[in-house]
Each structure stands twice: as structure tokens, then as C-alpha cells.
Structure 1
Amino acid sequence: MRVEFILLYLLCVTATVVAYETVEDAAVIARNLVDNSKDSIATMATIFPSDDEELGDQPFSMQEYYASCHQNGSITLLFLPISRHSRNIYRSKEHRASISITSEIPAASRARVSLIGTVTVFDQGERAQDLEILKNCYLAKHPDARWWLPDDDDAAHIAYWARFDPHTVYFVGGFGDTHYIGYIPLGLYQSSGPQPSLSPVAGRILVTQGGL
């Protein structure tokens, strides 16, 4: 009986060690969540400007389209000045925002990642390079967005291309006894995606940020 108990104990300990995620594991899982999301719809959070008469300095979150088009994990957005998030970002110092992405079927036991960073808007004469690659990458995930693309005189709304660059990555792999929970170093997160500068990922193309 004692031998069986020891064997069972060793089996449990071994299983726990094998199941525990390292920060390197978490970085790969986080990039997979972002890069290979089935719908590429995230929850974006911004802050109302302090001089807003009703909701100054209050948080605001809502679902937002995105596309993972950059080798280093930066995210492509369509920036519509008419949207609440866009107005909050414009009024924010450094154009701050956060983007959270969950597993396809969200649950407490499943992985999710929150990216905190800044948004660069390509407007007022500043243009994104590799525009055709960028457009094809975005439309591969969101074909309905063809009705409000930038530089389309017939589009429903004014729009600009934008890039979200995370500076902080926070990851929850699930329950903490078996999964990694905590910050992922930015460099590790950036290097944990596909390595070639032009790599097909889930039917899309990743481009180097230097061109965008």
C-alpha cells in the first residue's frame, strides 16, 4: 500500500511539472492566440478624455476588428474617426489603448492575453507602406471591411490604417496551479511568432514593421 501511494504521489508531481507552462511557453501560446484567432475580434479598452463632460477619465471597452499582419506581433487596425475608441485614442497622450484576446471558446481554464500599448495612425499625409499586402492581410480576416477602407471615395466612413504596438504583455494561461500567469517580456513575445519576414499565417501575410 505504501509503495502504491509513493508511486501515485510521484505520478502527480511529474504530471504537475510536465503541465506547468514556462514564460517561453506562454509567449508562444499568446502569439498563437493573437496571430491565429479564428475571427480576429478583440476587446479594446480606452479611456475617455478628462474634459469629457459626462465620462471624463472613465474606462470604455468594446469589441474591435484587428488583423495580425506584422512579424513582431504588432497589430493592424482600421481607424475610423467616427468610432468612440478612435476619438478616445486621438485625445489620449501617446494614443494609448489595450487589446485583449481570448481563446476561441472563452473560459476561466483557457488562455487569454492582454496587450497594452500605443496606436500609430497613418493619416494627414503619413501613409503605410506595403499597402497592398496590408489591405489583403486585413481583408482576409474581415472581408466586410471592404466597405470602409481608407482612400475609397465611396466608403461609408472616413478611415485610416493604423498600427497597434504593444509595450506590455500580460498572460493568463488558465488556472495558476498548472498554467503560467503573469507578464511576458516584450522581446520574447515579439520573437515567438513566425520568423521569416514574409510568412503565411492562417491565410495571411506577416510583414516586417519597418515597412509599416
Structure 2
Amino acid sequence: MQLLSLTFFAVVISPLIVCKETVEDAALLARRLVASQAVGVMATIFPANTSLEGEPFALQEYYANCYSNGSLSLITMPISRHTRNIVHSPSHSASMTVWSTPPAASRARVALIGNVTILDTQLAVDSGIQDCYLQQHPDARFWLPDDPDGAHEAFWARFDPHSVFFVGGFGNKHFIGDVPLDLYQSTVPVDFLGDNDSFIVQGEI
């Protein structure tokens, strides 16, 4: 197993707030926020072995909301500039920003800091991760891991947040601050599950 440290950011519309949000509200809004989006912009830093050492790099990245504890599913590719930056950086760090359309300063965003674990491909298929990912990203069928006809070499991965920072919007009404990890993981936004039958695993797979 290979561990890569990542930071994820997400942005979505918050419902109308008539009183100041609590940390419990923030946990639910953060989970809804991440569940309602599936594409973000990931940013990484060029490593020391490149001519752009220390420079930031940002590009679109897919994720899928497949775990009931808030972990996320990814497909990583050795050809990806992000993957190479993460693997070759001392801290294996990255950030991802996800937002609603149109974005606005008054709307919520959350920063998830954690680790990525590369998964066994057959285990990902057997556990339903592949089905879940394809449900959210049907076009990913063209670059699935272990597909001999796939566009690129690829691997399944799981992002496990260990720190959550939520900004609900402007601070006079919205929560701004840390959300305890256990609260974030245990707050399941059932109204965002829809017909996602693959949203069943806890993060062990």
C-alpha cells in the first residue's frame, strides 16, 4: 500500500441560514457539499527534480463519494502530473477545490486534509467501488484500472480525511472552523444518497 497525503477543498450552496450554524450543522453541510459534487480542481507542487521546482500546478480532477464515513474514491494515473508531483514530493501533499455553479464568497467550502491509499483493483471491483465511481463518472469506463484496452495505466485509490475545516460563508451567520473528524465521519447525509446503491462501505476497503 502506498500512502499519499492530500488536501481536498469543496464548495457548494448552503441553505438559507436564519441563525448561526453549529458545528453539527457544519458537519452535515460539509458532507452534503462533498456528496453533491464530483469534480474539482486539484493543485500540487512541482518537485525538486523538475525545472518548475516549487511552482504550483492546478488541473481538473475527478472524485467519487463512495464511502459512508466520508472517504472518497479516486483513480490515480502514473501519467498524471498531479500523481507524479505527489509521489515525488517529500510530504505527498495536494489540495482540491470543488464549488457550485456559480461560485460565490457567501457559499460554503470545506478543506479535507488526509491520506490516499492505493487499492487492489480486484478488491475495488468486488467491493462495489468501481460501480460507485462509474455511477458518478460514466465516462471513466475508458480509463479503468487493469483494463487492457484502457487509455492509460491507472490505479484505484481511497482518500481518508483526518482533518476537516469548514467555512460556511460569511462569519456573522455561518460556521467557520474545525469540524471534529468523528462528527464528520458519523454524519451521513441520507438525503444526498439518492439511488447510489454502492454507498455502503465504511472506509476499510
1:202 aligns with 2:197: no
Residue in 1 that maps onto 2:30: 30
**Which residue number corresponds to residue 88 of structure 1?**
85
List gaps (5 residues or longer) in structure 1: 1-16
Which structure has the larger Rg? 1
Pair 1:129 & 2:123 matched: yes
Pick aligned residue for 1:110 from 107, 120, 125:
107
**1:61 Cα offset (Å):** 2.4
Indicate the percent of aligned positions where both proteins have the same amino acid. 53
- Of Structure 1 and Structure 2, the greater helix share is in 1
Separation (CA, whole Å) in 2 of partners of 1:168 and 1:25: 17
- Counterpart of 2:181 in structure 1 is 186
Q: Choose between structure 1 and 2 for higher RCO, CA contacts under 8 A separated by at least 6 residues.
A: 2
Q: What is the deviation of 1:121?
A: 1.7
| TM superposition shift of 1:104 | 4.2
SS in 2 for 1:202: coil
Q: What is the rounded CA distance, in whole Å, between the counterparts of 1:146 and 1:157 in structure 2?
A: 11
Contact 1:116 1:166 in 2 (8 A): yes
Distance 2:112 2:98 in 1: 8
Amino acid at match of 1:162: A
Contact 1:114 1:169 in 2 (8 A): yes
RMSD value, Cα: 2.2
Question: CA shift at 1:74, angstroms?
Answer: 0.7
Question: Any runs of at least 4 consecutive aligned residues in structure 1 with deviations exceeding 6 A, and if so which?
Answer: none
Gaps of 5+ in 2: 1-16
Q: Which SS does the other structure have where 1:19 is aligned?
A: coil
Aligned counterparts of 2:24 and 2:203: Cα–Cα separation in 1: 22
Matched to 1:55, the amino acid is: L
- TM-score of the aligned structures, taking structure 2 as reference length: 0.82
TM-score (norm 1): 0.79
- Deviation, 1:19, is 1.8
**Are the aligned partners of 1:94 and 1:118 in contact in 2 as well (CA < 8 Å)?**
no
Q: Structure 1 pair 80/170, CA: closer, same or farther in 2 (3 Å)?
A: same
Q: Residues 128, 74 of structure 1: CA spacing in aligned structure 2 closer, same or farther, 3 A cutoff?
A: farther
